[in-house]
Amino acid sequence: MPSRKFADGEVVMGRWPGSVLYYEVQVTSYDDVAHLYTVKYKDGTELALKESDIRSQSSFKHRKSQSSSSSPSRRSSSRSRSRSRSPGRPAKGRRRSASQSREHKEDKKKTVQETSIALPVLVLFKPSENNTKRYNGEPESTEKNATSCIILEQKLKPDLEIKRMLEQYSLRSRKDDKKKEEIYSEKKTFVAVKPIEKVSTKTKEMEFGGRIGTFMLILLLPATVFYLLLMCKQDDPSLLNFSPLPALESLWDWRVFGVILLWFFLQAAFYLLPIGKVVEGLPLSSGRKLQYRINGFYAFILTAAAIGVLLYFEFELHYLYDHLMQFAVSAAAFSLALSIYLYVRSLRAPEEELAPGGNSGYFIYDFFTGHELNPRIGSFDLKYFCELRPGLIGWVVINLAMLLAEMKIHNLSVPSLSMILVNSFQLLYVVDALWNEEAVLTTMDITHDGFGFMLAFGDLVWVPFVYSLQAFYLVGHPTTISWPVAAAITVLNCIGYYIFRSANSQKNNFRRNPADPKLANLKFIPTATGKGLLVTGWWGFVRHPNYLGDIIMALAWSLPCGFNHILPYFYVIYFICLLVHREARDEHHCKQKYGLAWERYCQRVPYRIFPYIY
Ligand code: NDP
């Protein structure tokens, strides 16, 4: 085993994770087992770094004399037009070898380039091939960076145009940060265009209560689904009014299981159709980008056509209502089998393809949270497919079956107003998700969580069978609401939807193309990883505006069920708990990813989900 290269207390240059920015750090300790150095940045941030992410100060010396940047948050305000501090800048010697006149021309060209960077810095954020080729350069130190990450250190002239441009970004120097001043004094921006390899794929902190918590959840989640479905079928669905449990053999029907299989493979066939565009996901930790086919909305249309044909031939869709529990049991069995398959195959997956959150080394934990990040069979992405199709479209079909069952059981010529509202609101939600399918590629489920029992059960059982609870409830517990009440609930749903959609689109567009002119009025805080954090618009209102909109909608879905029982409110109560917990998880990840920049964001936007409350 090679001995450690840097001693405790030594001041060295440490790479900021996810970028090729190096900052002055002090080594505080060394972990012999993990071979990681704990280092402290000047702003107090402590991180564990690999030896390959640390360099001696001498390799930076000549640049250091020109740079004052010493922490991720610190930016120099030098007025010099030289780019000499950039690790991405060609070495001086190399530049001098050009002829005088060429150098002059180059200088002129540079001047034009710098003044005309109406090319706002944001354009450079775009990880396009062109940018990569154009700005790629070697670090001045002789040691070649093993990663293909590019860093740009762009000096901006304080002319009016640049000033106007800077107004859009909330870049603040560290000194100024204390005074909470805006960025006008700042003329320099670091841009990392492409992320690099991760520091370590091992999960250090377990979530969901660790091994015991995840074990309990594996038992508790299916039990909750069955309990809710049993309660919903009772005349009096009061929470403590238990009815005798059904006989075990009544829960299983091979025909129902066959329908579940048929449904899953039909949706898989739709997914494989070569219709719809193919897009790239966000860069993985290796820098690679996976491709995804966007055809969820087409799958929905085809499914609607298939259901239309079945209804035309008088297929009794309320069969679903009569056998809902059996369908849930079959779907649960299928999701369990899928989870086992996912875990077994993940054991052969290379380390860099494992999920950052599901690689603890403990079977139960990794089985639950998902060991492999993007399990694929060829180009068939299992997680992405399950996220929006079988479960989400299945939810709409179950809702429709409930609507037809209500009409049949209560002998109605038209469904009740409550049933129409619940069906329409939830249909809008599903259609919206499928229409904006691309947005799912920037969500935590895709970028952070592995594919294991949590998502397999969540996508294939929890979503279709728990989210359709209101419609199921209304079949057995008719609720009459007046038109004005219906109108008020509709307005509430529209408000929630508007917040949810515009917040998600704003973030998604910003992540995909920060230079999008539609986002020109938004400000953001730059981070050392090259990604920005929006601080105006919806993301400046609260830290998770999309959750706020989602919760408002969840309430609007429960209200048509009246106030006789709490059961139809299970969804909104559970959803608040889920999103509060999810928000805390996301904050934790963002704090790790963005360090000080995230703290600044939290200072600027103090409320998490509910303005002035939480
Ligand atoms: P988000 O879509 O909210 O994504 C969180 C990520 O957004 C962060 O990790 C960070 O990622 C990025 N981010 C955070 N703050 C900012 C900022 N200020 N500026 C720019 N980017 C920022 O998380 P989810 O995946 O949890 O949710 C997606 C949607 O799905 C939400 O609308 C949610 O309500 C919904 N949802 C619905 C569920 C349901 O069962 N119906 C369940 C769960 C979610 P990075 O910086 O790495 O890009």
- The mean pLDDT of the chain is 76
Closest ligand 1 atom, CA of 539?
Answer: 18
How far apart are the CA of 546 and the centre of ligand 1, in A? 7
State if residue 533 touches ligand 1 by the CB under 6 angstroms criterion: yes
Q: Report yes or no on 94 lying in a domain.
A: no
**For residue 192, what pLDDT is reported?**
37
| CA dihedral of residues 221, 223, 229, 235 (deg, nearest 10) | -130
* 177-220 residue pLDDT tens: 343 333 322 323 333 333 434 445 677 778 888 889 999 999 99
pLDDT at residue 273, as a whole number: 93
Looking at the fold, whether 596 and 585 belong to one and the same domain comes out as yes
Six-digit token string for 326? 């059996």
Interval between CA 586 and ligand 1 midpoint (Å)? 8
How is residue 595 annotated by DSSP? Answer: T
Note the pLDDT tens digit of each residue in 405-414.
Answer: 999 999 999 9
Instruction: Determine which residue's CA is closest to atom 16 belonging to ligand 1.
Output: 533
- From atom 3 of ligand 1, which residue's Cα is the shortest distance away? 544
Task: Provide the 10 A C-beta neighbour count for residue 564.
Answer: 13
Same domain, 564 and 503: yes
- Co-location of 249 and 370 in the same domain: yes
* Rounded distance from Cα 556 to ligand 1 centre (Å): 21
Please give the distance of CA 182 from its chain centroid, rounded to a whole number.
29
Q: Is 586 in the pocket of ligand 1 (CB under 6 A)?
A: yes
Q: Which residues pair with 47 in a beta bridge?
A: 39
73 contacts 174 by C-beta, under 8 angstroms = yes
- List pLDDT tens digits, range 503-543: 998 988 888 888 888 888 888 888 877 788 999 889 998 99
Return all residues near 609 (Cβ < 8 A) that are at least 6 apart.
542, 543, 544, 547, 548, 551, 579, 580, 583
Same domain, 574 and 587: yes
What pLDDT, on a 0 to 100 scale, did the predictor assign at position 189?
A: 33
pLDDT at 49: 80
Residue 529 CB less than 6 A away from ligand 1: no
Chain CA centroid to CA 170, Å: 23
pLDDT at 350: 85
Query: Is 562's pLDDT higher than 60?
Result: yes
For the beta carbon of residue 55, count every other beta carbon within 10 angstroms. Answer: 19
Spacing, Cα 85 to ligand 1 middle (Å): 35
Examine the fold and report which residue of 429, 454, 480 is the final residue of a domain before the chain moves on.
Answer: 480
| Structure-block tokens of residue 144 | 């070649």
pLDDT of residue 17: 64
Specify whether 432 is located in the same domain as 518.
no
Residue 123 lies in a domain: no
In ligand 1, the atom with minimum distance to the C-alpha of 533 is: 19
For residue 48, how far is its CA from the centre of ligand 1 (angstroms)? 26
pLDDT confidence of residue 201: 65
Ligand 1 close to Cβ of residue 507 (< 6 A): yes
Phi, psi of 354 (to 5 degrees): -85, 155
Question: Predicted confidence band at 40 (pLDDT cuts at 50, 70, 90)?
Answer: confident
Residue nearest to atom 10 of ligand 1 (CA): 590
Is the residue at 500 inside a domain? Answer: yes
453 and 498 belong to one structural domain: no
Q: Are residues 493 and 380 in the same domain?
A: no
Window from 174-188, 337-351, 387-401 with minimum mean pLDDT: 174-188
For atom 37 of ligand 1, the residue with the nearest CA is 550
For residue 371, which of 214, 583, 261 has the smallest C-alpha distance?
214
What is the model's pLDDT at position 190?
34
Domain boundaries, position 521 = 481-613
What ligand 1 atom has the least distance to the C-alpha of 605? 18
The average pLDDT across 412-423 equals 94
In a shared domain, residues 294 and 432: yes
Mutate to test the pocket of ligand 1, among 547, 580, 589, 600 (most ligand atoms within 8 A of CB): 547
What integer pLDDT is reported at residue 44 of this predicted model?
58
d(CA 332, CA 337): 9
Residue 141 tokens, joined: 């130190």
Share of the chain above pLDDT 70, in %: 74
Q: Answer with the one of 480, 495, 527 that is the final residue of a domain.
A: 480
Q: Is 509's C-beta closer than 6 angstroms to any atom of ligand 1?
A: no
Confidence of residue 43 (pLDDT cuts 50, 70, 90): low
pTM: 0.69
Give the tens place of pLDDT for each residue, 72-122: 333 333 332 333 333 233 333 333 333 344 444 444 443 333 322 222 222
Instruction: For residues 438 and 492, state if they share a domain.
Output: no
Answer whether 582 contacts ligand 1 (Cβ < 6 A): yes
Percent of the chain at pLDDT above 90?
41
DSSP three-state, residue 115? helix
pLDDT band at 152 (very low <50, low <70, confident <90, very high): very low
Across residues 285-313, what is the average pLDDT? Answer: 92
Q: How many domains does the chain have?
A: 3
Task: Identify the DSSP state of 372.
Answer: B
Same domain, 458 and 491: no
Q: In terms of domains, do 560 and 416 share one?
A: no
pLDDT digits (tens, 9 = 90+) for 256-272: 999 999 999 999 999 99
Is there a domain that residue 166 lies in? no
Helix residue ranges, H only, 70-155: 92-96, 100-115, 121-125, 129-135
> Is the CB–ligand 1 distance for residue 534 below 6 Å?
yes
Q: Which two tokens stand for residue 495?
A: 């408000």
Residue 181 lies in a domain: no
Evaluate whether residue 301 is within a structural domain: yes
Q: Tell whether 258 and 392 lie within a shared domain.
A: yes
Q: Is the CB of 544 under 6 A from ligand 1?
A: yes
Please indicate whether residue 142 or residue 278 has the higher confidence score (pLDDT).
278
Q: Which residue, by CA, sits nearest to atom 43 of ligand 1? A: 579
Does residue 78 belong to any structural domain of this protein? Answer: no
Mean pLDDT of 439-452: 87
What's 22's domain CATH number? Answer: 2.30.30.140
pLDDT, mean of residues 464-487: 94
Quick check: is 190 in a domain?
no
Q: Which is the closest atom of ligand 1 to the Cα of 446?
A: 25
Q: What share of the chain is helix, strand, coil (3-state, %, to 5)?
A: 55, 10, 35
- Compute the distance between CA of residue 184 and CA of residue 165 in angstroms, rounded to an integer: 10
Q: Whose CA is nearest to atom 2 of ligand 1?
A: 443
- pLDDT at position 235: 81
Cα of 443 from ligand 1 centre, angstroms: 5
